[in-house]
Amino acid sequence: MTAQPVETAPSLWTAAHDVDARRPRSLQTQLGASDTVCERRAAYILAGTTPTDQSDKRAAILGTYIHEGLLGAARTEYGWLVEAAVANESIRGHVDAVQLDEATAARVPARHRPLVPAEHGVTVEDVKTKSTWLWDKVRRYGPTQAELRQVYLYADLLRTVGFEDRRGQRYLAKLGPLEVARIRFRFVNRDNGEEHIEEFPFDPNEATRARWWVQRVRELNTPEEGRRDFDGPGLDAICDYCPFMTACWGLPERPGGPVQTVLIHDDADRAQALEDYVRGHELETEGKRLKKLARAKIDASPAGVYGANELAWTGGNPKYVPDVEAMVDLHEIARIVVPMLPDEKRMVSNLKAAGLAVPEKKTSQTTPKTINVKPYKG
């Protein structure tokens, strides 16, 4: 029996989105540490603005499932404190994992102590799931500024307040403020499970910077005073998936056009945009030149690790294309009619070779709008 696609069975994603919408995190209106990715977005959340856009949350939901599974395993197998709540009057959140050191662990009931205490002091861990196409970037550059800010906000809450005093974790709240010594990032590739871990000492200056960031958002009079930290829909995926995208950028001036036109108010803005365009063009040209020269130089080098980078070669295999003559023969053998559709390219070249004008007809399509920027010699 051949299996057929079924269209009547309900999609599990409908259920998954409904469950996700009921999560405490989705219902929370107070600013969460994980909301501090963009200043203006944080300001919309803080102002209680109703989201204007809905985006596909499937990747985020999958990330949550992986997150829950891994953190559950860390709790049962390693005895780490996972998803414990932290809060003060301006921000709240759940710390992915805290690995207590020996001295602190001795102050909690034995069943909540880590199997192996953190060697270099209390360690705050943040787990991030990433897709393969971001993996190289993660391994090369580590956490983003927003990811650092989030984990420092958690660590700062632990240092200044400790765990939140709430049901289920009173024994943790009794510890009071904790001396956080280390920060650990654990990146997990959600396509193949690969793990990349970075750990470093807690930096009080980073914590202060993160606190100031939140303070600044709280001092804004309106969300629109907040800085747009990303370039907008179509140019940055963070904006493409932002629930306040339309509130932030409005609708495009012409359907299908970019919304970034809202950033131009006068000729000074236009002059600046053209300067940016020219500078971008120069950087691009220089970047391409540099890359082409490096590629040519390395062409005969064997795969291997050289300094901070690993060289690997792919391709170089025979390429296969359909064999037209063999296909015609096969058609004749199998008594299939050989398609005789007009060949546009060939007809154009035939007419040009015969010195005849190629007839054209107007279509409903238009040519793409192109930009032409040259120095003004006024």
Residues that bind ligand SF4 (CB under 6 A): 38, 40-41, 228-230, 238-239, 242, 244-245, 248
Q: Strands, E, within 100-201: which ranges?
A: 122-130, 180-189, 195-201
Q: Which amino acid is at 313?
A: W
| Residue from 98, 118, 123, 129 nearest 195 by CA | 129
**Residue number, 42 or 188, with CB nearest to ligand SF4:** 42
d(CA 372, CA 153): 46
Q: What is the DSSP letter of 263?
A: G
- Residues 228, 38 contacting (CB under 8 angstroms): yes
- Residues 45, 27 contacting (CB under 8 angstroms): no
- Residue partners of 228: CB distance under 8 A and separation at least 6: 38, 39, 40, 248
CB of 42 to ligand SF4, least distance (A): 8
**Residue number, 201 or 257, with CB nearest to ligand SF4:** 257
CB of 229 to ligand SF4, least distance (A): 6
CB of 30 to ligand SF4, least distance (A): 18
**Residue number, 143 or 232, with CB nearest to ligand SF4:** 232
**Residue number, 151 or 242, with CB nearest to ligand SF4:** 242
**Residue number, 29 or 192, with CB nearest to ligand SF4:** 29
CB of 223 to ligand SF4, least distance (A): 8
CB of 171 to ligand SF4, least distance (A): 38
Q: Which helix (H) or strand (E) holds 224?
A: none
**Residue number, 108 or 262, with CB nearest to ligand SF4:** 262
CB of 52 to ligand SF4, least distance (A): 10
**Residue number, 35 or 156, with CB nearest to ligand SF4:** 35
- Residues 197, 185 contacting (CB under 8 angstroms): yes
CB of 87 to ligand SF4, least distance (A): 24
**Residue number, 108 or 263, with CB nearest to ligand SF4:** 263
d(CA 324, CA 106): 77
- Residues 128, 119 contacting (CB under 8 angstroms): no
Helix/strand/coil percentages in the chain, nearest 5: 45, 15, 40
CB of 273 to ligand SF4, least distance (A): 18
C-alpha radius of gyration, the chain, whole number: 29
CB of 230 to ligand SF4, least distance (A): 4
**Residue number, 74 or 245, with CB nearest to ligand SF4:** 245
- Partners of residue 3 on adjacent β-strands: none
| Residue from 232, 239, 225, 237 nearest 259 by CA | 232
* Cβ density class 223-250: b for 16+ within 10 Å, e for less: beebebbbebbeeeebbebbbbbebbbe
